[in-house]
Amino acid sequence: MEFDTDPSLPSSENSAEVAENLWKEILGNSADLGKGFLENGGDSFRAVLLSSRLYELTGREVEYLDVLEADGAGAIARLLTADVAGS
Amino acid sequence: MRWELSPNQVDLYTADQAAEDPSTYLVNCVYRITGPADEPLLAERFARLGETYPVLASRVVEDDGAWFLEAAPDPPQLRSVQVADAPDGAAARLRLREELTRPLDLAKGPMCRAVLLRYAPDTADLVLIAHHLVVDGRSMELIARGVLTDETTEPAADWADWAAAARARLPRRAGRAAEIRAELATADVVPSLDWAGAAGDAPGAGDTTGGGVAEALLPAALHRSLRDLGTELGVTPYSAVLAAAALVLGRNSGAARPVIGTTVSRRSPAHATTVGYFNNTTPVPVLLDGQATVADFLREVHQRGVQAYRDADLPLSSVLPGAGLTAPQLVVSAIDTLPALREGDRHAVPHEDQGLGTAHFPLTLGLYQEHGRTDGIRMLLRHQRALVTEEAAALFFRQLTAVLAHFTDHPDRRLDDVDTLPAEELTALLATGRGARLTDPPAALPELFAHRVREAAGRTAVVCRDERASYGELDAHSRQLALALIESGVRPGDRVGVCLDRGVGQIAAVLAVLRAGAAYVPLDPDYPPQRLAFVIEDTGLRTVVTEGGLLSDVPGLHRVAPDAAPEDPGLSLPVVDPEATAYIIHTSGSTGRPKGVRVSHRNVAALLAATREEYAPGVRDVWSYFHSLAFDFSVWEIWGCLLTGGRLVVVPYDVSRDAEAFHELLRAEGVTVLNQTPSAFAQLVNTEAFRAGGLAVRLLIFGGEALDRGVLLPWLDRYPEDVCRPVNMYGITETTVFCTWHPVDRAEALRGSRSIGRPIPGWDLYVRDDRGRPAAPGVPGEIWVGGAGVTQGYLDRPELNAERFTEDHLTGTPGARLYRSGDLGRFLPDGQIEYLGRRDDQVKIRGHRIELGEIRHALLEDDRVRAAASLVRAPDGPATARIDAYVVTDAPRELADIRQRLAERLPGYLLPATLTAVPELPLTANGKLDTALLPDPRPAQPSSAPAPAETSGPETAMAALWERVLGLPVGPDDNFFDLGGTSVQAVLLATALREENYPAIRLRDIFRNSTPRRLAAAVAPRTDA
C-alpha cells in the first residue's frame, strides 16, 4: 500500500523511545523490554492497539502480526526505522 | 464517481445474493439512550456521515460483469418513530426487531439507515443498520461515534484507495493463491456436520429455519491459564481457541485435516477511522496429529493462523475449491465491542447482540475483544439451524471448554489423549448405552425346554403343513435322536451338522444335538453345495443329521437319520453346561471367507430373559419360523417360541418365497409373533391377500436390515399400534441375534428414522471413535457391544478374535468382553442410537460420502414407488463409480418423472446415474436384498447428445440462456461448475433469468440445480403458476 510517508521520519533514538513507551503502555508498566510481545502476555488485540498507536504517533504503518511476533521492544524500534520503500 | 468492489466485497456480495434471507448480511448496533436525544442534531449528524464516509451513501451497480459502488440517489436518513410501549415491552421489542430485519436494497441504496425509536421523552433506542458490504465492526463504532458524539474524525485514508490497492495486488498473488488451493486440496475443506444435525434428517430437508445464537463464557480461571500457557508457548489465546475448535470439529467430523475459517481484519492503521468492509474470512488448514504434544499442536496452529492472516488479502473464493461456493463449516472471529457514549446529559449504552435469526456460516464462534477484561472470555456461538441444532451448538461449546481445560492442564500430553467431552459427560454417556441388568442365572437350553414339557406335554409345539408335534412328542423324539448321536460317538463339546428341510424333524434334530451336549451347525439344503462344503470343513464336522440324498457326496461324514433310534433307550443324557456352545452360525461379512460364530447356551438364554418382560411371549402365542436355520433370526424364532411354550409354525421354503402363500399361512395358523426382514415384509404387504386382512399378529419384529420410511404405513393402516406392536431390532450374529429394540409408531413410520433404539436388558452399546474413546453424543463412531450377548467368538480365528473381541475395559467387569461391530452409529440426544451403515460400506463418489439409504428413502417418498434399492457400481475402478437405483412401481412409464421428482429432493451428487424398474426386488435366502441378482441398469437419461424431442423443451431454452451468460456451448445436462462457471457468473445468470421468464429465481436455485435440465425442472412450476 502506498501512503504519504511522514517527512519527519523518526530517528533511531526517537524510535527506541517511542517503542519502549508504547511497549509499557500496551503491555503494562512491568513489561519486560527484552522479552517477546507474546511472552509479555500480549495478544492479537493488544498488537492491533500497539500498531494503531504507532501510526498515530509516527505515521508509520506496522503490521500487527509483526508486533505480535516481536521479540522485544527493540524489534518495534527496528520496524519503525526500517526502510519501508517498496513494501 | 464510482469504485469497483474489492475482492473481499465481491465474495460478500455473492454470499448475500445466495443467502436465503435478504437480511443475512445486515450489521446493526442499537444504543439505548437516556436523557434528551436531541433528534434534529442526531439526524443532521447521520446525514453528514454519508459525506464523510461515501460508501454509506452508495449503491451497487453492475457493469459488464463487474460490480461497482456509486452514489445512491437518496442520502442516508434518520427517521424518528414514537413507540406506544414501554422500552423492552413486547410491542417495543417487536418493533425493534422489524427495524433490524428489514432488508436494505443494494441496487437502490443507500447502504445504511437509522431509526430513533422513542419510548418516553428521556428514553429511546437508536438503531443503526448498515449492509456488511460497506462496514465491519470497527465501522459501526465510527458510525455510532459520528452520531452520538461531536467527535468528527475525518478518515486519514479513503476506503476507495484500500479497495483499489487490494484489487491491484491480486494478480501478483495468483501464485500464492494456487499454492493455497493445492494445499487445501489435500485437506478436509468441508468436514461433515452430520454430528450436528437433527436425527434422521433427509438431505436438503427443512433448510429454511434460519440461524440461532448462544452466549457462552470461558470461565475466568480458564482464561487466566490460557493466558499463562500462551505466554509460555508464545501463542495467543485466540490461537488456542482456534486450535481447540479445530480439534473438536475434526473429532466430531472424523476429519484428520479439518479446515476452519478465521475472520481477519485487513484494516491498516492508516484506515483506523475509515468506514468500510476490511474483513476477509480465510481458511486455516489444521493437521490433527495424534502423536504431537498439545504444546506443539498449539504452536503449529498459531503459526498457521499467522500465515492465514498474511494470506488474507486473497479472497476466500480464490483459494477454496468449488468456484467460491464452498464456505468453511466453522469460522472463528473476533467481535469488536461497542463503547458506551456520553454527550452532555445524553447517555448511550449499546444493547447486547440482537440474534436476528441469521448466520453466515454453519457455525461461527465469536470471541469478544474486551481489553483488560480478566474474568473470562465472552463468546457468541452462531449457527445455521438447518445444519447445527441448538443441542449441537451447546455441545460444541462444552467440548471446546473441555478441550481448552485439557490443553492448559496437560500441555505435554499427546493430542490423542485429549478427550473432547467433560469427564462427567463421558461417564454419563457410558451409562446411557447400558441396558437394564439381567438377574437370571445362566441356563442351558435343554433345561429350559424341559420346564415347558413338564408344564404341558400335550400342547402343540411345532406345526409343519399337515404334520404336528406336541411338546411331549418333541421331547421324546429329540431324546431318542440325542441318545443315537451319543451312541454314534458324539460327546459334549462336539459339533454336529443339521442338514434337513425345515420341518418338525429338523427342530427335533436341533434339540437332539443340544441335548447330547453338542453344538448344532446349520447346513441349509437350499444353500449352494460349495458353501455347505466350506462350513463342513471349517467346523471339522464328522457327524451330520440328514436324510435322503443330502450331502451324500461328502466323504468321511457320518450320517445320522433324523428318526434314528438308540440301541439302548435307557441311557441318560448329559447335563449341559450353560457355557457350552449351542450353535455355530457363519456370517459372510463383506471381506474374506465366512467366519463361524460360536454362541453359548447362556447367550441364548440371556436373549430370552432380556425380552421376557417386554414381549411377554406365552402359551397363547403362535410364532412363524420363516428364516433359514443358517440365519440367526431363526434362533430367535425357534427358541423364542419353544422355550416360552408357544406354537411354532414352520414356513416351508417354497411358502417363504411366495408372499401370497405366506400370508395365507399366517392367517390360517393365527400367527401372533411375526419376525421379518423389511425386504420380505414389503412383499407381504403388497400381496392381494393383505388387503383382505385377517391376521392375528400382535408383535411384529423387524431385523436384519434398516427399516425404511413408509414401508410400515399400509400395515399400520390395517393393524394399528394398539392391535399389533411393531418393533425394529438391530442385531449382530456375534452378539446373539439382537442388541437393541426400537418400538416404531405411526409418526416415526411416516417421518422415517434410522434409530435402532436402546440396548435390550443385559446388552451394552458404546459408540467409539477411532481412538477407542466414547464419541460425543451425535458424533458418528463405531458401535461396540458388551454384556450378556457377547458370544464366544469366531471358530479358529485367533487373530480376528483378538481384533474383534476385546476385554471390557470400559466397565471393568472381570471376564467381560466387548465386540467391535464394524457398524457405524451415533447416540441421539435422547439416548437412542442411530444406525449409520457399515464401516466398510462407506462409499465416496467424487469426494462426496454417499449414503445409499438416503437415496432409497427419497425414492420411497414417491407414492408411485412401492420398493426401492440403490447400490454403487464401479465397473472400471473407483473413478467410474456411479449410483444405480431400482424401483418396483406400478407406473414404469413414469420412470422419467419419478427421476425428475427425485432430482428435486436430492443433491446432485446423490442423484442415481441410472433408474431401472424391476418387477420385484430379489431377496437372498435370508430374506435380505440380493444385489447380485439385480439386472444391469438401463441409463435413466439418453446420453448427453440431446435427443430431437428435447430441442423445444424448457431445458433447451435454459441451456441457451446459459450459453449467453457463459459464452460457451451448453448442453441440458452440463454442470454449471464443470463448465467453469464462477460465483460471479452465477449472479449474472440469476439476473439474466429474472429478466427472462423466471422472475422468482434465486442464486441458490442455480447452486442446487446446477444443470439446465435440473434448473428448468426446479423453477418451471413457479413460472407456470
Q: Please state, in angstroms and rounded to a whole number, the distance separating the CA atoms of residues B707 and B152.
A: 68
Question: Would you state the pLDDT for residue B966?
Answer: 82
Using DSSP, state whether B164 is helix, strand or coil.
helix
Q: Do A62 and B165 make contact, defined as CB atoms within 8 angstroms?
A: no
Q: Report the gap between the CA of B381 and the closest CA in chain A (Å).
A: 20
Q: Please state, in angstroms and rounded to a whole number, the distance separating the CA atoms of residues B924 and B1024.
A: 47
User: Is pLDDT at B950 greater than 50 in this prediction?
Assistant: no
Q: How confident is the model at residue B915 (pLDDT cuts 50, 70, 90)?
A: confident
Stretches in chain A below the pLDDT threshold 50? 1-8, 84-87
B724 inside domain? no
> What backbone phi and psi angles, to 5 degrees, belong to B985?
-65, -30
User: Is pLDDT at B361 greater than 60 in this prediction?
Assistant: yes
User: Is pLDDT at B938 greater than 70 in this prediction?
Assistant: no
Q: Please state, in angstroms and rounded to a whole number, the distance separating the CA atoms of residues B106 and B827.
A: 45
Beta-carbon neighbour count of residue B580 at 10 Å?
Answer: 20
Q: How many Cα atoms sit within 13 Å of B901 on the Cβ side?
A: 13
Q: Can you say how many angstroms the Cα of residue B320 is from the centroid of all Cα atoms in its chain? A: 24
pLDDT in tens, B615-629: 999 999 999 999 999
Domain boundary among B163, B197, B217: B163
With contacts defined as CB-CB under 8 Å, which chain A residues touch B334? 44-45
DSSP state of B420: S
CA angle B353, B135, B22 (to 5 degrees): 70
Q: Smallest Cβ distance to A52: which of B161, B272, B306? A: B272
Question: Would you state the pLDDT for residue B897?
Answer: 83
> What backbone phi and psi angles, to 5 degrees, belong to B701?
-115, 125
Residues B847 and B980 occupy one common structural domain: no
Secondary structure (DSSP) of B689-755? HHHH-----SEEEE-SSPPPTTTTHHHHHHS-TTT-EEEEEE--GGGSS-SEEEE--HHHHHH---E
What are the grid coordinates assigned to B552, written together? 451324500
Q: Report the gap between the CA of A67 and the closest CA in chain B (Å).
A: 12
Q: Please state, in angstroms and rounded to a whole number, the distance separating the CA atoms of residues B79 and B126.
A: 10
Residues B361 and B218 occupy one common structural domain: yes
Q: Please state, in angstroms and rounded to a whole number, the distance separating the CA atoms of residues B267 and B269.
A: 7
Using DSSP, state whether B183 is helix, strand or coil.
helix
User: Is pLDDT at B944 greater than 80 in this prediction?
Assistant: no
Question: Would you state the pLDDT for residue B1022?
Answer: 44
Q: Smallest Cβ distance to A41: which of B161, B227, B306? A: B227
Q: Please state, in angstroms and rounded to a whole number, the distance separating the CA atoms of residues B809 and B121.
A: 70
Residues B157 and B93 occupy one common structural domain: yes
pLDDT in tens, B105-161: 999 989 999 999 999 999 999 999 999 999 999 999 999 999 999 987 788 899 999
Secondary structure (DSSP) of B864-901? TEEEEEEEEE-BTBGGG-EEEEEEEES-GGGHHHHHHH
Q: What is the mean pLDDT of residues B35-46?
A: 94
- Contact at 8 Å (CB) between B368 and B238? no
> Residue B51 maps to which CATH number?
3.30.559.10
With contacts defined as CB-CB under 8 Å, which chain B residues touch A69? 306
> Residue B556 maps to which CATH number?
3.40.50.12780
- Contact at 8 Å (CB) between B3 and B192? no
Q: Do B269 and A43 make contact, defined as CB atoms within 8 angstroms?
A: no
Question: Would you state the pLDDT for residue B945?
Answer: 38
Q: Please state, in angstroms and rounded to a whole number, the distance separating the CA atoms of residues B994 and B997.
A: 6
Q: Do B237 and A39 make contact, defined as CB atoms within 8 angstroms?
A: no
With contacts defined as CB-CB under 8 Å, which chain B residues touch A56? 269, 272
What are the grid coordinates assigned to B348, written together? 448511550
Q: How confident is the model at residue B941 (pLDDT cuts 50, 70, 90)?
A: very low
Report the candidate in B742, B729, B735, B731 with the shortest Cα–Cα distance to residue B808. B735
Q: Smallest Cβ distance to B371: which of A3, A45, A51? A: A45
pLDDT in tens, B654-672: 999 899 999 999 999 999 9
Residues B902 and B959 occupy one common structural domain: no
Q: What is the mean pLDDT of residues B487-499?
A: 97
Secondary structure (DSSP) of B637-673? HHHHHHTTT-EEEE--HHHHT-HHHHHHHHHHHT--E
Domain with B898 in it: 842-933
Q: How confident is the model at residue B721 (pLDDT cuts 50, 70, 90)?
A: very high
Question: Would you state the pLDDT for residue B200?
Answer: 54
Listed as own residue / partner, the contacts of A66-72 with beta carbons closer than 8 Å and 24 or more positions apart are A67/A37, A67/A42, A68/A37, A68/A38, A68/A42, A68/A44, A68/B236, A68/B306, A69/A36, A69/A37, A69/A38, A69/B306, A70/A36, A70/A37, A71/A35, A71/A36, A71/A37, A72/A32, A72/A33, A72/A34, A72/A35, A72/A36
pLDDT in tens, B156-193: 899 999 999 999 999 999 999 999 988 988 888 888 88
With contacts defined as CB-CB under 8 Å, which chain B residues touch A32? none
Q: How confident is the model at residue B707 (pLDDT cuts 50, 70, 90)?
A: confident
Using DSSP, state whether B902 is helix, strand or coil.
helix
Residues B872 and B897 occupy one common structural domain: yes
Residues B258 and B374 occupy one common structural domain: yes
User: Is pLDDT at B203 greater than 50 in this prediction?
Assistant: no
The ipTM (two decimal places) reads 0.77
> What backbone phi and psi angles, to 5 degrees, belong to B700?
-120, 115
Report the candidate in B683, B675, B664 with the shortest Cα–Cα distance to residue B724. B675
Mean pLDDT of chain B: 88
% of chain B exceeding 70 in pLDDT: 92
% of chain B exceeding 90 in pLDDT: 59
Question: Would you state the pLDDT for residue A46?
Answer: 87
CB contact set of B1012 (below 8 Å; sequence gap of 6+): B955, B956, B958, B959, B961, B962, B970, B971, B972, B973, B974
Chain A residues interacting with chain B (CB cutoff of 8 angstroms): 1-3, 36, 38-46, 48-49, 51-52, 54-56, 61-62, 65, 68-69
Question: Would you state the pLDDT for residue B204?
Answer: 39
Q: Please state, in angstroms and rounded to a whole number, the distance separating the CA atoms of residues B326 and B188.
A: 12
> Residue B911 maps to which CATH number?
3.30.300.30
- Contact at 8 Å (CB) between B485 and B543? yes
With contacts defined as CB-CB under 8 Å, which chain A residues touch B230? 38, 41, 43
Most confident by average pLDDT, A68-82, B439-453, B880-894: B439-453
> What backbone phi and psi angles, to 5 degrees, belong to B143?
-65, -45
Residues B225 and B366 occupy one common structural domain: yes
Question: Would you state the pLDDT for residue B940?
Answer: 44
Residues B219 and B324 occupy one common structural domain: yes
Chain B residues interacting with chain A (CB cutoff of 8 angstroms): 157, 161-162, 165, 227, 230-232, 234-238, 265, 268-270, 272, 306, 309-310, 334, 369, 371
Residue B520, Cβ density class (10 Å: 0-12 exposed, 13-18 middle, ≥19 buried): buried
User: Is pLDDT at B942 greater than 50 in this prediction?
Assistant: no
Please report how the helices B983-995 and B7-18 are oriented relative to each other, as an axis angle in degrees rounded to 10: 50
Q: How confident is the model at residue B592 (pLDDT cuts 50, 70, 90)?
A: low
Q: Smallest Cβ distance to A43: which of B238, B265, B268? A: B238
- Contact at 8 Å (CB) between B533 and B508? no
pLDDT in tens, B957-983: 888 888 888 878 888 877 776 676 776
> Could you give the dihedral angle defined by the CA atoms of residues B238, B242, B243 and B248, in that order, rounded to the nearest 10 degrees?
140
What are the grid coordinates assigned to B716, written together? 399400520
CA closest to B226 among chain A residues: A41
Q: Which contiguous run of DSSP H or E holds residue B818? A: strand B817-827
Domain boundary among B595, B621, B647: B621
Q: Do A68 and B231 make contact, defined as CB atoms within 8 angstroms?
A: no
pTM higher than 0.95: no
Q: How confident is the model at residue B678 (pLDDT cuts 50, 70, 90)?
A: confident
With contacts defined as CB-CB under 8 Å, which chain B residues touch A42? 236
Number of independent structural domains in chain B: 5
Residues B1003 and B871 occupy one common structural domain: no
Q: Please state, in angstroms and rounded to a whole number, the distance separating the CA atoms of residues B435 and B438.
A: 9
Instruction: Specify the higher pLDDT residue, B315 or B354.
Output: B315
Three-state secondary structure readout of B427-458: HHHHHHCECCCCCCCCCCHHHHHHHHHHHCCC
List the single best residue of A2, A43, A54, A87 to mutate versus B (max B Cβ within 10 A).
A43
Question: Would you state the pLDDT for residue B208?
Answer: 44
Q: Which contiguous run of DSSP H or E holds residue B466? A: none
Report the candidate in B280, B362, B360 with the shortest Cα–Cα distance to residue B316. B280
pLDDT in tens, B761-777: 999 999 998 888 889 99
Cell numbers 454519508 correspond to B50
Strand-strand pairing, B622-625 and B647-650 = parallel
Q: Do A1 and B165 make contact, defined as CB atoms within 8 angstroms?
A: yes
Domain boundary among B367, B391, B423: B423
Question: Would you state the pLDDT for residue B907?
Answer: 65
> Residue B980 maps to which CATH number?
1.10.1200.10
- Contact at 8 Å (CB) between B289 and B177? no
What are the grid coordinates assigned to B835, written together? 444406525
With contacts defined as CB-CB under 8 Å, which chain B residues touch A49? 371
Residues B90 and B135 occupy one common structural domain: yes
With contacts defined as CB-CB under 8 Å, which chain A residues touch B236? 38, 42-44, 68
pLDDT in tens, B537-564: 999 999 999 998 888 888 889 999 999 9
User: Is pLDDT at B810 greater than 70 in this prediction?
Assistant: yes
Question: Would you state the pLDDT for residue B207?
Answer: 41
User: Is pLDDT at B1025 greater than 50 in this prediction?
Assistant: no
Q: Do A65 and B309 make contact, defined as CB atoms within 8 angstroms?
A: yes
**Range from B119-128, B161-170, B565-574, B701-710 carrying the lowest mean pLDDT:** B701-710
Question: Would you state the pLDDT for residue B843?
Answer: 63
Residues B46 and B159 occupy one common structural domain: yes
What are the grid coordinates assigned to B909, written together? 451428487
Tell me the residue type at B591: T
Three-state secondary structure readout of B533-584: HHHHHHCCCCEEEECCCCCCCCCCCEEECCCCCCCCCCCCCCCCCCCCEEEE
Q: Which contiguous run of DSSP H or E holds residue B274? A: none
What are the grid coordinates assigned to B925, written together? 435366502
B755 inside domain? no
Q: Please state, in angstroms and rounded to a whole number, the distance separating the CA atoms of residues B98 and B89.
A: 14
Residues B555 and B485 occupy one common structural domain: yes
Could you tell me which CATH class the domain A12-81 is placed in?
mainly alpha
Q: What is the mean pLDDT of residues B363-380?
A: 86
With contacts defined as CB-CB under 8 Å, which chain B residues touch A44? 236, 238, 334
Instruction: Specify the higher pLDDT residue, B884 or B973.
Output: B884
Beta strands in B171-328 (DSSP E): 211-218, 259-265, 279-285
Q: Do A55 and B269 make contact, defined as CB atoms within 8 angstroms?
A: yes
With contacts defined as CB-CB under 8 Å, which chain A residues touch B369? 45
C-alpha pair distances (Å), B828 with each of A2, B200, B746, B1000: 56, 10, 20, 38
List the single best residue of A56, A63, A68, A80 to mutate versus B (max B Cβ within 10 A).
A68
CB contact set of B704 (below 8 Å; sequence gap of 6+): B631, B633, B677, B678, B731, B926, B927, B928
- Cis ω on the peptide bond leading into residue B110 (within 30° of 0)? yes
